[in-house]
């Protein structure tokens, strides 16, 4: 009996030691991740400082200003006597950094619009139901660069100058993409994309006024539809664990996610296919820098019938746009092969 108790104690000690060792490993990894994140933030700040310093140097401000009488512009001088640009007073010179900053923004927008044009020119992307423009629109909106969404829209409708129905369909698909993406990046960024988009519509014939969910009178009637769609995306087991936690701790959150997000919006199939809506979620999640949720939807995309190639294409478009508009992601994207085989919802 005593020997049995001794063995039990030894086993308990061994388990405790293993648990403590695992905790130490997790703590070290967490600390290392924090240090890495801090290093990235410092490097980002250094890059911004260097960029601003270059603006100052280019504007001729690095050496400061001379405030003596000879350095000031005398309004009484004739045109022939006016100093050249190198003798501008501080009042005039201070405008230069703003000009330089504006130039940087113009350069960023030029790079973005060039990329949009390149996407539009790819084989198969001149179709009404092409998905590239929906993915790009949500990536720009999620990156808070909604002012670039009209460029996406105009590139998408360019092949259909003589087809008003096609232009309306493309607009409807972009709007449906943006409103689904808003469950990830929020209403403010949705509106920042919507208003410029509405101003870019070229003519009355191109306006789409279809109310996609006109038949929905009560979102609470869509519980079964929302649950069924979530099961398809995440799997029945994960879905059950997920909703069980919400039922216990936050029933209102369950209503929001199951009835509204998935029941009313994500599961709507009259405009976008399942895999299209899933790609919208992926692109939007990339911009929010939330790798855990992104991993859920990467696996969900495959569950809905998406391919690895399509997944790579979606993530590439989103990460390229994030980079083009200057959004700094603090986390790395989940490994594709590991994620689509192992990622769990909870």
Question: Is 94 a member of any domain?
Answer: no
**CA torsion angle 279 285 287 292 (round to 10):** -130
- Whether 145 has a pLDDT exceeding 80, the answer reads yes
Question: Is 10 a member of any domain?
Answer: no
Which pLDDT band holds residue 328 (cuts at 50, 70, 90)? very high
4 or 154, greater pLDDT: 154
Number of helices and strands in the chain (H, E): 14, 0
- Whether 106 has a pLDDT exceeding 50, the answer reads yes
Mean pLDDT for 126-140 is 98
Which pLDDT belongs to residue 217?
87
Question: Is 62 a member of any domain?
Answer: no
In sequence order, the 6+-apart residues with CB closer than 8 A to the CB of 311 are 282, 298, 301, 302, 336, 340
pLDDT digits (tens, 9 = 90+) for 158-171: 999 999 999 999 99
- Domain limits at 285? 219-342
- The two tokens of residue 320 are 């390229």
Question: Is 64 a member of any domain?
Answer: no
- Angle among Cα 292, 294, 297 to the nearest 5 degrees reads 115
Cα–Cα distance, 148 to 192 (Å, whole number)? 10
> Among 206, 233, 249, where does a domain finish?
206
Assess whether 168 and 200 both reside in one domain.
Answer: yes
270 or 75, greater pLDDT: 270
Mean pLDDT of the chain: 82
- The two tokens of residue 2 are 């005593």
Assess whether 192 and 298 both reside in one domain.
Answer: no
Assess whether 232 and 134 both reside in one domain.
Answer: no
Assess whether 193 and 287 both reside in one domain.
Answer: no
Is the whole model's pTM more than 0.75, yes or no?
no
Q: Which residue in 315, 303, 266, 264 sits closest to 135, CA to CA?
A: 315
Cα–Cα distance, 58 to 42 (Å, whole number)? 24
Assess whether 175 and 223 both reside in one domain.
Answer: no
pLDDT digits (tens, 9 = 90+) for 178-208: 999 999 999 999 999 999 999 999 999 999 9
pLDDT digits (tens, 9 = 90+) for 210-258: 999 999 988 888 999 999 999 999 999 999 998 999 999 999 999 999 9
Which pLDDT band holds residue 343 (cuts at 50, 70, 90)? low
In sequence order, the 6+-apart residues with CB closer than 8 A to the CB of 209 are none
pLDDT digits (tens, 9 = 90+) for 273-303: 999 999 999 999 999 999 999 999 999 999 9
Question: Is 54 a member of any domain?
Answer: no
Question: Is 6 a member of any domain?
Answer: no
For the chain, the domain total comes to: 2
Question: Is 23 a member of any domain?
Answer: no
Given a contact cutoff of 8 angstroms between Cβ atoms, the answer to whether 122 and 86 are in contact is no
Which pLDDT belongs to residue 340?
87
Which pLDDT band holds residue 71 (cuts at 50, 70, 90)? very low
Mean pLDDT for 80-84 is 43
- Whether 131 has a pLDDT exceeding 90, the answer reads yes
Cα–Cα distance, 112 to 108 (Å, whole number)? 6
In sequence order, the 6+-apart residues with CB closer than 8 A to the CB of 322 are 139, 143, 286, 287, 329
Which pLDDT belongs to residue 99?
59
Question: Is 68 a member of any domain?
Answer: no
Percent of the chain with pLDDT over 70: 71
> Among 157, 184, 206, where does a domain finish?
206
Which pLDDT band holds residue 2 (cuts at 50, 70, 90)? low
| CATH number of the domain encompassing residue 236 | 1.20.1290.10
Assess whether 255 and 224 both reside in one domain.
Answer: yes
Assess whether 272 and 226 both reside in one domain.
Answer: yes
Which pLDDT band holds residue 3 (cuts at 50, 70, 90)? low
Mean pLDDT for 259-280 is 97
Assess whether 179 and 242 both reside in one domain.
Answer: no
Q: Which residue in 107, 66, 106 sits closest to 87, CA to CA?
A: 66
């Amino acid at each position: 009996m005593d020997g049995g108790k001794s063995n039990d104690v030894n086993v308990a000690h061994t388990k405790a030691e293993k648990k403590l060792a695992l905790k130490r490993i997790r703590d070290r990894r967490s600390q290392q991740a924090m240090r890495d994140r801090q290093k990235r933030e410092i490097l980002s700040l250094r890059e911004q400082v260097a960029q601003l310093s270059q603006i100052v140097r280019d504007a001729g401000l690095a050496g400061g200003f001379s405030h003596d009488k000879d350095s000031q512009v005398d309004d009484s001088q004739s045109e022939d006597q006016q100093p050249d640009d190198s003798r501008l007073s501080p009042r005039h010179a201070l405008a230069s950094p703003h000009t330089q900053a504006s130039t940087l923004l113009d350069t960023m927008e030029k790079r973005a619009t060039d990329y949009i044009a390149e996407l539009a020119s790819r084989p198969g992307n001149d179709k009404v139901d092409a998905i590239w423009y929906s993915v790009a629109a949500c990536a720009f909106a999620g990156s808070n660069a909604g002012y670039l969404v009209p460029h996406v829209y105009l590139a998408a409708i360019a092949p259909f100058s003589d087809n008003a129905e096609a232009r309306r369909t493309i607009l409807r698909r972009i709007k449906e993409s943006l409103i689904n993406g808003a469950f990830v990046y929020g209403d403010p960024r949705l509106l920042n994309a919507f208003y410029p988009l509405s101003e870019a519509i070229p003519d009355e014939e191109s306006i789409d006024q279809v109310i996609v969910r006109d038949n929905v009178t009560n979102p609470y009637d869509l519980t079964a539809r929302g649950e069924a769609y979530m099961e398809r995306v995440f799997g029945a087991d994960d879905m059950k664990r997920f909703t069980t936690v919400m039922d216990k701790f936050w029933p209102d959150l369950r209503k929001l996610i199951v009835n509204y997000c998935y029941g009313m919006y994500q599961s709507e199939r009259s405009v976008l296919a399942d895999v299209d809506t899933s790609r919208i979620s992926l692109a939007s999640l990339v911009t929010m820098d939330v790798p855990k949720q992104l991993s859920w939807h990467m696996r969900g995309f495959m569950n809905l019938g998406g391919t690895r190639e399509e997944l790579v294409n979606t993530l590439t478009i989103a990460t390229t746009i994030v980079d083009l508009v200057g959004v700094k992601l603090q986390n790395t994207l989940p490994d594709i092969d590991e994620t689509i085989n192992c990622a769990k919802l909870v």
